[in-house]
A = this chain, B = another copy of it.
């Protein structure tokens, strides 16, 4: 193979890796909602690193992926699931920088009211991700309801800046 062709091969590999990263991160985020809505504790825990954090704005962030998986067994999640809920994570903006990445975007929680669903929560999310030997994992997720204050807006804006 000529140098030119070797270079083409190397370029292809690098370009492909970028797409794989973006799609792997999509897949990771697309697992969260189905995971919590089906009470799949292991699937949820498996999205984070062992020391991962999920800060959803409560008094104490969930620390460690065991605690994060266990949130499906806690309130208010159990009540939500009992009524019927959908946790939906939208297609995110993704920036990959070597072995770390940031995904930025919206999520909503829809809560069953009998004949319709209420939008119980519409949030800004910042997902800080790391590449591990077994694929991308969430190191830190910050989730804040878009309630008109500046903090959740800043969560979204921060992810778009280089």
Contact = CB atoms under 8 A, between A and B. Distances in A.
Contacts of A31: 93, 160
A148 B12 contact: no
Nearest to A155: B38
Interface of A: 1-2, 5-6, 8-9, 12-13, 15-16, 19-20, 22-23, 26-27, 29-31, 33-35, 37-40, 43, 81-86, 88-94, 104-106, 108, 110, 112, 116-124, 145-149, 152-161
A36 to B, nearest CB: 9
Contact of A40 (B5, B26, B146, B157): B157
Contact of A108 (B81, B117, B120): B117
A156 B34 contact: yes
Contact of A160 (B5, B35, B116, B123): B35
